[in-house]
Amino acid sequence: MYRHSKDYPFTRVLEEHWQEILAEYGAVSRNQGMHAWPEKQLYDGQWDTFGLYAFGNRRHRNCDLCPVTTRLVEQIPGLQMAGFSRLAPGTHIKPHCGYDGWAQYVLRCHLALQVNDQCALRVGPETRKWETGKTLVFCDATEHEAWNHGDKERVVLLLDFRNPEFHWRLLNPDLTPEIQKFIQETWGELTFREKASYYFWRALRLWPRRRFRRPA
């Protein structure tokens, strides 16, 4: 469900600097390009992203291109995910829930950078429209969907941060095959820490199976 943005002080800081964040988005979208979200079964249309933090790991090359945005998001307590998310006109992200083992223990924040009257976000039974320069906070484990029926792109700064109610919970996302394939395809761009985190995740996912496997 939706949460009150005012309960999270960092949202006010983001809202105060939204124009600077938008300017950095404009630069990277023109010069560096965005990546199509790999889970194509989740949406119709064109959904592109530019990541700064992924599952708690800093994307150094991308962060260097967005120094103001990076400085702001790194002040967020429990930051786990950060990046730009763009929906082209006519795009619909289908109803879905976040990754099991992850979505239950984080909260998601959207800072609206470019919106129009024909785009909206439904979380559970409630639908809201983004407002330029304002944030929305919600639980990613609740079924949600988003759409852009307008003639201009919708752009938000997307963030995941630890839900204070589960501050010490181990985050162990059940990544889809599409995300795993994307990680493998971009392996050469990853830092040592990112690669180590992926190996650690794989070990966590496989360990229960090995432990409880019956002898042949």
Judging by beta carbons within 10 Å of its beta carbon (0-12, 13-18, 19+), is residue 150 exposed, middle or buried?
middle
**Partners of 193 in beta bridges:** none
CATH no., domain 2-171: 2.60.120.330
Distance CA 3, CA 90 (A): 27
Query: Structural domain boundaries of the chain?
Result: 2-171
Is the predicted pLDDT of residue 168 greater than 90, yes or no?
Answer: no
- Answer yes or no: are the C-beta atoms of 119 and 150 closer than 8 Å: yes
Backbone angles phi and psi of 117, in degrees to 5: -70, -10
Q: What integer pLDDT is reported at residue 214 of this predicted model?
A: 36
Which two three-digit tokens encode residue 212? 């409880």
Arithmetic mean of pLDDT, 13-35? 93
pLDDT band at 209 (very low <50, low <70, confident <90, very high): very low
Q: What angle do CA 100, 146, 72 make, to 5 degrees?
A: 75
- The Cα-based distances of 35 to 65, 85, 90 in angstroms read 15, 10, 18
- The Cα-based distances of 23 to 30, 78, 138, 141 in angstroms read 11, 25, 25, 31
- Answer yes or no: are the C-beta atoms of 56 and 171 closer than 8 Å: yes
pLDDT band at 27 (very low <50, low <70, confident <90, very high): very high
Q: Is the pTM of this model over 0.95?
A: no
- Tens of pLDDT, residue by residue over 99-133, are 898 999 999 999 999 999 999 999 999 999 999 99
